[in-house]
Amino acid sequence: MEQVAGQIIFFLLSAVIVICSILAVTSRRILRAATYLLFVLFATAGFYFQLDYHFLGAVQITIYAGGIVVLFVFAILLTSKLGEKSDKISSTKRGWGLLAAISGAALCLYTLCTHDFFPSQYAAGGEWDMKAIGHMLMGMDKYQYLLPFEAISVLLLACIIGGIMIARKR
Amino acid sequence: MDFSNFLWMRDELSLLAVILILFLYDTFGSDKSRRAFSTVACILLAAQTAFMLIPATAGEAFGGMYHTSPAINIVKIVLNIGTLLVLIQAIPWVKTADVVIRRGEFFILTLMTLFGMYLMISSGNFLLFFIGLETASLPLTALVAIEKYKQNSYEAAAKYVFVALFSSSLLLMGLSFIYGAVGTLYYHDIALAIGNVTKSIAGSPLLYVGIVLFLAGMGFKISIVPFHLWTADVYQGAPTSITAYLSVISKGAAAFALMVILFKTFAPVAIVWQYVLWGLIVITITVGNLFAVRQKNLKRFMAFSSISQAGYILLGVIAGSATGMTSLIYYVLVYIFSNLAVFGIISVVENATGKVNIDDYNGLYRTNPRLSVAMMLALFSLAGIPPFAGFFSKFFIFFAAAEQGFYVLVFIALLNTVISLYYYLLVVKAMFIKQDDCAIPALKSDTASRINITICVIGVLVIGLLSCIYTAIDAHAFGM
Amino acid sequence: MEIPMIYYVVVSTIMFFAGVYGFVTRKNLLAILISLELMLNAVDINFVVFNRYLFPGQLEGFFFTLFAVAIAAAETAIAIAIIINIYRNIKNIKVDNLDKMKY
Amino acid sequence: MNFLALFVLIPLLMMAGLFLSKEMKMIRTVAVIGSTLQLILAVAVLILFLQERAAGNTAEMLFTIDNPIVWYAPLDIALAVGVDGVSVAMLLLTAIVVFAGVFASWKINPLPKEFFLWLTLLSIGVYGFFISINLFTMFMFYEIALIPMYLLIGVWGSGNKNYSAMKLTLMLMGGSALLLVSILGLYFYSAPEGGELTMNILEIARNNAIPHEVQTYLFPLAFVGFGVLGAMFPFHTWSPDGHASAPTAVSMLHAGVLMKLGGYGCFRVAMYLMPWATSELSWIFLILTGISVVYGAFSACVQTDLKYINAYSSVSHCGLVLFALLMWKTTAMTGAILQMLSHGLMTALFFALIGMIYGRTHTRDIREMGGLMKIMPFLSVCYVIAGMASLGLPGLSGFIAEMTVFVGSFEWTDPFRRVLTIVACTSIVITAVYILRVVGKLLYGTVQNEHHRELTDASWWERLSAITLIVSVAALGMAPGWIANLISNSMSVISERIMQYI
Amino acid sequence: MEIFNYSFIILLLPMLMFVTLGLCGHKMSHRTAGMLGTSGLFIITVLAYIVAAQYFTMPRIDGVFATVTPYNFTWLQFTESLIIKLGILLDPISVMMLVVITTVSLMVHIYSLGYMHGETGFQRYYAFLSLFTFSMLGLVVATNIFQMYIFWELVGASSYLLIGFYYTKQSAVAASKKAFIVTRFADLGFLIGILLLSFFTKTFDFETLTNGSVSLIDTAAGKSFLGISAASWAMALIFMGGAGKSAMFPLHIWLPDAMEGPTPVSALIHAATMVVAGVYLVARLFPVYVIQTPDVLMFITVIGAITALYAAIVACVQTDIKRVLAFSTISQIAFMIVALGVCTSMELDHEGHGGLGYMASMFHLFTHAMFKALLFLGAGAIIHAVHSNEMSAMGGLRKYMPITHITFLIACLAIAGIPPFSGFFSKDEILAAAFDKSAFWGIWMSLVAGLTAFYMFRLYFNIFWGKEAHHEHTPHEAPKTMTIPLLFLAVVTCFAGFIPFGNFVTPTGLSYDIHLNWTVAGTSIAIAIIGIALATWLYMKPNDKPTRMADSMRSLHTWAYHRFYFDEIYLFVTHKIIFRYICAPIAWFDRHIIDGTMNLMATATQWASYHIRGLQSGRLQSYAVVFLFGALLVAFIVLCCM
């Protein structure tokens, strides 16, 4: 039963992801595109929950939905008029886009499908303990991530400085 | 918690200390005291470079997340020297009214990208590598846009950031494939897993596609054809000092990181990436040359020249041997001096007159003999003419590739040197042979530019003749 | 029946290449950025799924995704800053206006 | 270091001196002192060499260093030097031509300082090439010698100089690209399996370990690589344009000395190190060089530009050099080297004279000149002498060189080589045709342009330059015995190496 | 042999003269230079006579004059055996040649003092004369064939310089060029011949070649080309060199043009000495020819006979007196060649006369040198007087120039073969030799001898008799410097025939007493007289018979007048065919195809560069597309290959 529910939820989420992804890249209204993106991100978070990575799902929602999409919306509101529709795409451009997307997808799917993933079975490890995750994030041994954590702080600092430098008027 | 892990990271930490000092200085220093900011930044970096000269030992920290070795240390020193030269070269430029308000940011962001490169080179895990990669490229996009009210500058920045993001998403895709195929992101473990015959990962298409996408992502950084298209626009649009930085430091670091990863991680499937690189090198050198032939703008010209140079750099990678590594590091070192000399002169001329076209250099020798001679030496070095350093570096890199039997590749590359000589000579021709009544008048360059160009020219003249440099690198290099 | 791993991967691939399609066809720089977000997000799914299905013993994919999300945020921030800078200069953010340098 | 290094050091000091000099007088003084020192040094080396040989030293190369200064140890790049008879002869040739060249460019304008600097750099390359016995340093000096040409032609040249300079540089660099591949290949196969690889020519030859199929690839690369500089058909087209556009001294040095690098390299690297391939593949190149010989001569017959005539004549003569080398009998190879010397001297003389004439008449078109014998008798007489040397008049250098080549080539009995030899012989007739055509039109007859009547004859420095060369040409032509012995002793080593493969 | 130690001076002195006059001549006065040159040559002449005297007074060994080699040093060593030596070889013919050359040269030197008086380049002229004398002497005393080739080239060059002495005159320049190139072409054959010969015999040395110690036939056995044996090829090619220098048909075309040079030069080089080098060459290698390659000797006879007839016919209708003499020279040399050609063996004694031609040829060479030099010098005196070469400008000169007239007549009689002048004796021997071989050759050559008498007297009458041409100023006798040589040579011409030549020069070296074969002699005298009579009838008094006769044989006359159009054919071949269809296309090919290919490579690079610029469209999204497709393509290829 639970499995069936899980399957139904999966297909639902998949449908949302697929449809909204496509809409996000085809909608001629930019604000709507951002909204579709939001849906995709939520559905992705749903995937994470389904896979028992609750912490990741939460992060996904916080950062993407709470941070990035808001940033997008601000930027959209700043740069375009409400209700403005973008121009139609020329057919050559669309043709190239489709060709790129389809051929790329075909190649990737081919390799993914032909690959013999070796355990290839869902290992129900269950939810990881938050404390364990915290230790891993702060540890220095193998499979522990203090160094990336520190490093990314430099990256974020750099991006803040850079972003401010560019975005401010002066 | 074993904080001694951090002791391995003396290079990174010292660089962070420099960044921090500068950050605090920029934030809290008075306007008057900040006048010396550029000088202080250069001195600090020089000091840090000197600190790094203390011989390092090989080791790893953070459970294999971080690696260091004398060879890596040497590369970092090389990058530091390059960065130092770029910073010195940038001093007159950051004094200009448009940029002076962003002076602090310029130095700090530049050093932060350098930090990112350190991480790329030293990482033992793809996660750290990716973070390093992004640290090395994202601030650079901001730097490209630093003259933010100039059309070229923001156009370049937009192109750079979008292509960078696109390429890093492809790279991520590749990494995810590799992860899916191998099950770990630690270099050492990946190598073990691929090398393990029983698991037969080595024959998996997923791994191959992953490697190809990874190469494409790195190809963006090194500007390998066909992942190079941003290069010319960004080099042209970016301020000259940033272009210089992009063309030598960023490229050199990425090339070395690529080499380390290919050597350490993908050695068991060397045949795959060697063939891929084979093809890529050929088209990179050729296309770079073909485009360079018809450029009018000197910076754009140097962009294509740097694309073809990237192809030569990769000859060291494809060799996959200790000789390859030595010659690659050596090549980058020489390339830094030669290219920075060229960019130094470009920026002197550009700062004084705003001219960047090759035609503007007509008759430069009659008005500015020293600049012209320096430029000529640097260009000859780039073209690989003895007795300048470029000849030696080219020879060694060909040597490394030929050692592994890539004679045809070496041959093609050599034929391309003829084309490259052609376009380098075009510049020489403009300066020495063509006459122009309205040639650039005699310039008086400032101390910083002089120091920079002098150092570069000395480097170009001396590095090849002093074999100890090569020997020193060779002593620490390692192969697959 | 358990959901086969490949289903997730197919979805993520579709998302990724939808992003590619958007990147190639959209005219608005922000829309392109949205497409990029799709691509990055798709890769995250890959990492998570591979981790969960194939190599559940360690959390490598998990942490990769975690950091990737953070990096994506930083990237977005910088990109939006640049886009806004462009808007400030030319009062629109059409990608067509960014082809002054070519050949 | 041993004293051969002086060949590089003296020009280096000369460059330093030139760099520091301010005015024309100083520049000239430095140039003259430097070139004279070079000449003295070359003669000294010759004498010492002969003494050593007379003392019974039969080593293949003399004045080598027992422990060469290792430069790049991992690649076995060492500053190894040594000379055999051929190198000694070539060094002497270079010194003579440089000496004459300095005087021929006495009044060079503009930028005299830079001109002499580049010229000296060029001579460093040439000297270095001839004294090196390490493949790397050889290649390095080879390239050093090539690149100054670009600026020398580009800045001080005339006519379509940009095109010519570029073409010359690129074609020669293309040749050196081929060369580099073969040098790398030679190195990696230089020792038998497991042996220590080496760049030293003598050691490679001693090891003689290069597999035959590898030689099949490397030999053409090396030979064509050097052959481009040796103006081998069909890679000679840089030569007419390049020589036509170059300033006097540069044409002299280039045709007189630099082209010899090609021939020298061909036997020292390609043939000496790859004897098997030489014996197997020489027929292809024999055909090409055979074509060169006749083709150059025929082309020269219809040219109207003095320098073009001479350039095509160089193609023909240099073709004969390579042709003779490929016959690899000691006599033929000796002839090749004699031909190198002879061609070097007389072509330098030619170019010097053409430059002097051009400097006065401002045209090189033979249709616009005539009767110069009346106006500038000295130059004209010198021109006739050069012409006679070129068409192989006994008593001048061309004759002995050609005869040695022909006699040597005739030692072969197979019809292929015999026919080619006879074809090559015909060049002596065609040479006569174009030389006499020029002499007739240019020097004899009536004055074509009335303005030419006011022109002056040679000045003292021009006379000195021409006389130096004429004396050398005549000396070589009248007393060839000792120099031929000098050369043939060295050549027999190579010849015998190849002989063992037939 | 030590007694000839001084002989090197004979070579050294003219060389020194050349160097001195060449380098410092322009600083000397004409007189000094002329006197220097002449006195130098006088010393040489004396020395040559001493050499001759000493040589021929040496005791014979086995009845033979020994071959003496006082000097022979290595000049250039090709291989172990092939060595170019420079040396002096004295044997009967080289000593005879020494005498001839020095004598004629001395006469010309003296004569030129007057003839060239006041010319610009007087010193240069003497320098070149010295150079020529040096080269010619070097040629005749050559110890080996390569030395001969060296001096052979040198005489060619000095001939070139002397023909082109009036270098401002276009025709002189062209003639000098022609002379050089034609002989050069012949020398190509000579060279290849030497190469072949030396390849088979492994030696250059004349002695080794001729004393029978190496046999060309044996070493070259079995080798053949186009059905002709290698030995024959070698010797025929060597003869080709001789034919070129000696202006044998069809390589004769340069000699008439060479008359553009100063007349004394024509006398020295183009009549007496250089042009007989070919004869001398064949004589030098005579044993090889006669013993080993008789087929080549046959070929030589044919060439000689054709040339003799051809030149004689042409000489009958020329109007330029120097050209008549030139063709006469060609014809006379052909006599010598034929004489050599008809030999069948080395023997010349009471048993066999197979080698008679050799002796006859050398004898004729000697006498011809004297009387032909005399003729030319006489012609020079005439030209000096009337300032023209054309017969029409002359006529009736006997009154004004008595000495010239007499000497000229003597020479004419000599060449016509009237006893007791020298030409009679030598020509008679030649005819005898020809008849010895076969009646055909005998009749043929007798016919030519008759023609000789005819055209010589046509010349003589046209100059000294006939209608007196209008002169701007009265012709006068030449100065003493010019007449003395004429007189000297005339005396020699008168008495040279009585020299017992056969005692000195025979193929084997054994003494041979010349005895006239009166049948042959009678015939030849008769024919000569017929010729002279015909000429007298036609040309002694002004009349229209010559014109009528020319009209009656219009086409023959025209053809002969134009020398059977050989020059035109050569011009056609060289200019129209070689220049237009070989040189010009090659030059075009070089500029457009070879060079074009190189330029094409550059153009192709530029073209490619231009056409791929679209890749760099400046549009962000197309960059991404290329990026992606690049990656996909690489991935695809990898997947396909792995």
What would the pLDDT profile of D52-80 be if each residue is shown by its tens digit? 888 888 787 888 877 778 888 888 888 88
Mean pLDDT, range A28-55, rounded to an integer: 91
Q: List per-block mean pLDDT (blocks of 10 residues) for chain B, which spans 480 residues.
A: 80 94 91 88 94 88 89 93 94 88 92 94 93 94 90 91 94 93 90 82 85 94 92 92 93 93 90 92 93 91 93 92 92 94 92 89 90 93 91 93 92 92 92 85 87 94 90 88
Residue D459 CB-half CA count within 13 A:
10
d(CA B323, CA B300): 32
- Mutation pick from B105, B162, B204, B234 vs chain C, by most beta carbons of C within 10 Å, is B162
CB B187 within 8 A of CB B72: no
**Do the chains contact at A166 and B205, CB–CB below 8 Å?**
no
Alpha-carbon distances, residue E383 vs D282, E101, E322, E380, E401 (angstroms): 60, 24, 9, 5, 12
**Cβ neighbours for D218, distance < 8 A, ≥ 6 positions apart:** D181, D182, D185, D186, D189, D210, D274, D277
Q: Say if the Cβ atoms of A152 and C70 lie within 8 Å.
A: yes
**D280 CB contacts (<8 Å, ≥6 apart)?**
D212, D215, D216, D501
D177 touches chain B (CB under 8 A): yes
Query: Structure pTM?
Result: 0.91
Phi, psi of E467 (to 5 degrees): -75, 135
Adjacent-strand bridge partners of E88? E71
Secondary structure of residue E504 in the 3-state scheme:
helix
% pLDDT > 70, chain D: 100
Quick check: C75 and B179 CB within 8 A? no
Six token digits for residue E180: 């050089």
Taking CA atoms, what residue in B is nearest to C40? Answer: B169
What span, in angstroms and rounded, lies between the C-alpha atoms of B25 and B33? 9
Cβ–Cβ contact C17 with A under 8 A: yes
Q: What would the two tokens of residue E583 be?
A: 């040189």
What does the pLDDT read at residue A118? 65
| Burial environment of residue E222 by CB neighbours within 10 A (0 to 12, 13 to 18, 19 or more) | exposed
What span, in angstroms and rounded, lies between the C-alpha atoms of B361 and D12?
30
Q: Which residue blocks in D362-414 are alpha helix, DSSP H? A: 372-375, 377-390, 397-409
**Average pLDDT of the segment spanning D212-222:** 91
Q: State the average pLDDT for chain C.
A: 90
The reply to whether residue B208 touches residue E639, judged by beta carbons under 8 angstroms, is yes
**Are B211 and B168 contacting, i.e. CB atoms less than 8 angstroms apart?**
no
Q: Is B6 on the interface with E (CB under 8 A)?
A: no
D461 Cβ neighbours under 8 A, 6+ residues apart = D103, D104, D106
Following DSSP, what letter does each residue of B39-62 receive, concatenated? HHHHHHHHHHHHHHTSPP--EEEG
Per the CB < 8 Å rule, is B165 touching C79? Answer: yes
Domains of chain A, start order: 1-84 (1.20.120.1200), 116-170 (no CATH)
Low-confidence ranges of chain E (pLDDT < 70): 1-2, 220-222, 349-352, 470-472
CATH code of C74's domain: 1.10.287.3510
Block residue for tokens 């029978």: E212
Please tell me the distance from the alpha carbon of residue D407 to that of residue D414, in angstroms, as a whole number. 15
pLDDT in tens, D142-153: 999 888 889 899
Mean pLDDT for chain A? Answer: 87
Is B313 in CB contact (< 8 Å) with chain E? Answer: no
| Inter-chain CB proximity B64 and A142 less than 8 Å | yes
Cβ–Cβ contacts within 10 Å for residue E245, how many?
29
Asked whether at least 3 C-beta pairs link E and B within 8 Å, the reply is yes
CB pairs under 8 A between A and B: 102
Interface of A with B (CB under 8 A): 107-108, 110-112, 114-118, 139-148, 151-152, 154-155, 157-159, 161-163, 165-166, 170
Please list every residue in chain D whose beta carbon sits closer than 8 Å to the beta carbon of residue B389. Answer: none
Euclidean distance between CA atoms D217 and B221, whole angstroms: 37
Q: Does C101 touch chain A (CB under 8 A)?
A: no
Count of domains for chain C? 1
- Contact E/C (≥3 CB pairs under 8 Å): yes
Sequence-distant (6+) residues with CB within 8 A of E605 are: B290, B293, B419
What ipTM goes with this model?
0.93
Which residue from E minimizes the CA distance to B169? Answer: E628
Interchain CB contact of B275 with E (< 8 Å) = yes
- Angle at the Cα of E241 from the Cα atoms of E81 and E309, rounded to 5 degrees: 150
Q: How far is B388 from chain E (nearest CA, A)?
A: 27
Inter-chain residue contact E621 with C103, CB threshold 8 Å: no
Closest residue to B470, CB basis, from D72, D136, D184: D72
How far apart are alpha carbons E132 and D167 in whole angstroms? Answer: 46
Q: Do C18 and A25 touch (CB under 8 A)?
A: yes
Q: Alpha-carbon distance E330 to E342, whole Å?
A: 18
The residue in chain B having the minimum alpha-carbon distance to the alpha carbon of residue A168 is: B148
Domain ranges of chain D: 3-499
Candidates C8, C66, C78, partner chain B, best to mutate (most B CBs within 10 A)? C78
Residue whose token pair is 């800053």 = C81
CB < 8 Å from E in window 404-423 of B: 419
pLDDT at residue number D338 = 92
Beta-bridge partners for E229: E224
CA dist C71 → A154, B93, B128, B132, D339 (Å)? 11, 31, 12, 11, 72
Q: Tell me whether residues A40 and C30 touch, CB distance under 8 A.
A: no
Instruction: With beta carbons under 8 A apart, name residues in chain A contacting B142.
Output: 159, 161-163, 165-166
The pLDDT-based confidence of A3 (bands split at 50, 70, 90) is confident
Give residues with Cβ within 8 angstroms of E577, minimum separation 6. Answer: none
Nearest CA in chain A to E634: A107
E601 in contact with D, Cβ within 8 Å: no
pLDDT, mean over chain D: 89
Residue of A nearest to E639 (CA): A111
* E17, E162, E264 from E107: Cα distances, Å: 17, 17, 9
Residues D327 and D320: their CA atoms lie apart, in Å, by 10
Range of the domain at C24: 5-97
CA C9, distance to chain mean position in Å, is: 16
Give yes or no for residue C12 having a pLDDT over 90. Answer: yes
Closest CA to D437 of E124, E176, E570, E152: E176
Q: Is E289 helix (H, G, I), strand (E, B) or coil?
A: helix
Average pLDDT over residues D217-242: 90
Give pLDDT tens digits for B390-413: 999 999 999 999 999 999 999 999
Please answer whether residues B290 and B231 qualify as being in contact, where contact means their C-beta atoms are separated by less than 8 angstroms. no
Chain B CB contacts of A140 below 8 Å:
1-2, 5, 61-63
Give the pLDDT band of residue C15 (cuts 50, 70, 90). very high
Q: What is the pLDDT of residue D52?
A: 87
Min Cα separation B407/chain D (Å): 7
D181 HSE (CA, 13 A, CB side): 28
Q: Which of D8, D15, D70, D75 to mutate to test the interface with B (most CBs of B within 10 A)?
A: D75
Q: Which residue has the tokens 């694309």?
A: B307
pLDDT tens across E250-304, in order? 888 888 888 888 888 888 888 888 888 888 998 888 888 888 888 888 889 999 9
Q: Look at residues E507, B82, D472, A162 and name the one whose alpha carbon lies nearest to residue C77.
A: A162
In angstroms, the Cα distances linking D140 to B384, D77, D136, D143 are 10, 11, 6, 5
